[in-house]
Amino acid sequence: MKLFKLVAFGSVLAVTGILSTNYLDDAALAGGRGQRNKPSKKCITRKEIIKAQNTWGNAIVAIGKASQNGGDFIGLAEETVDNLYAYDEGNVLFKPTLASEQQFRLTEEDALSYFVGGDIPEDIGFALRPWSNVRFENAAFSLNCKTALAMGNYYFTDATTGEETKVEYSFGYIRNKDGKLLIILQDSSLPFNPEQ
């Protein structure tokens, strides 16, 4: 019986040690101050996803405006891809809406080509249309603390005609070591059209 109690007590200590180590790791990641923040404060929230979506949409609009006004739209696009996508962190699964010959953009250069044109012949520069607005309608979220997914429709307003184009999307996010949300998945497509 004593042996059973010792084994049980040892198991409790081991589990407690693992949990407290993870708790301290989360605190260290939260700012390196050694403060014990609740892990839930580290988890990705819907509010953060919506903010990231708005940032992405505003960047697409800004790239098009810069192109129209003779600004450095390529530099802005490079900054957008570098700051909003997790290519520097690892794999990014990016399947753009208007890509058919090279459907998947697994490098920063390929993503940049999609937005402003580049080495991929089919790319005419999606962000150069230009668009006057990008509006997200989230159908659902899947929040898994350090990763998160959002799915729904986004609407791109043509700056010339004012017409909206509806596009279906799935986005995946991670939080980097600086606490910033980065895109690890973007899968976009035009809605099914039974007449085609």
User: pLDDT per residue over 175-184, tens digit each?
Assistant: 998 999 999 9
Q: Give the span between the Cα atoms of 33 and 36, in whole angstroms.
A: 9
**pLDDT higher than threshold 90 for residue 2:** no
Mean pLDDT of the chain: 84
Three-state DSSP at 189 gives: strand
Do residues 42 and 29 lie in contact, with contact meaning Cβ atoms separated by under 8 Å? yes
The pLDDT value recorded for residue 193 is: 86
The pLDDT value recorded for residue 136 is: 98
Q: Give the span between the Cα atoms of 110 and 63, in whole angstroms.
A: 17
**pLDDT higher than threshold 80 for residue 11:** no
Strand partners, 65: none
Q: Give the span between the Cα atoms of 85 and 119, in whole angstroms.
A: 20
Q: What percent of the chain has pLDDT over 90?
A: 75
pLDDT, tens only, 106-124? 999 999 999 999 999 999 9
The pLDDT value recorded for residue 125 is: 96
pLDDT, tens only, 29-41? 333 333 333 333 5
Supply 183's token pair. Answer: 């895109």
Integer angstrom CA distances of residue 105 from 6, 111, 114, 123, 186: 55, 5, 8, 11, 10
Supply 137's token pair. Answer: 């309608």
pLDDT, tens only, 59-106? 999 999 999 999 999 999 999 999 999 999 999 999 999 999 999 999
Query: Residues 141, 144, 146, 149: what is their CA dihedral angle, to the nearest 10 degrees?
Result: -30
The pLDDT value recorded for residue 48 is: 97
Confidence of residue 13 (pLDDT cuts 50, 70, 90): very low
Give me the domains of the chain, ranges plus CATH numbers: 2-40 (no CATH), 43-189 (3.10.450.50)
The pLDDT value recorded for residue 42 is: 85
The pLDDT value recorded for residue 41 is: 54
Angle 78-83-86 from CA coordinates, rounded to 5°:
105
